[in-house]
Amino acid sequence: MIMSALPIITLPDPLLRKVSKPVETVDAELLKLADDMLETMYDAPGIGLAAVQVGVPKRLIVLDVSEDDDTPRPMTLINPEVLKIDGERTRMHEEGCLSIPDFRLEIERPASIVVGYLDREGKPQELPAEGLLATALQHEIDHLNGKLIIDFLSRLKRDIVVRKFKKMAREASA
């Protein structure tokens, strides 16, 4: 199977603000998209990628939070949703986003969650997640809901980041 890296859309692309549609059928075309997304994520490099970030507003995410020297553990989650949040414990983590290059932000999120999703065979699964995996899952599910890491900033700081990316986009197309 030939996998190919896809172009990643970046701020200020309005598609990043759209809520992604649920996947109706798990078929070869969807699995090829998931494989291409994994290739794109590894190539970037990143630890997670939502389909909307490659211009496909479907509820599909890929992740791999294995350490650099570990064996890769790619994950494909179709129609993921947070089923349970441990409201007691939170975790601060500096997050980056492939759609907002060279920008990082400390974000506090629940440290432990349970995510429901369909696997590559279309079977329902539940995934309890802690630490980095919980953070990455929440980050990617936010993408499916049109939410970006800059939404954790104050309005003023968010506007500054958006203006910077709009300016870069104008200069790139000039």
| Beta carbons of 133 and 80 less than 8 angstroms apart | no
At residue 35, the 3 state secondary structure works out as helix
C-alpha 149/C-alpha 53 separation (Å) is 13
Tokens of 87: 């409201």
Q: Which residues are known catalytic residues?
A: 140
CB-based contacts of 72, cutoff 8 Å, min separation 6: 42, 64, 66
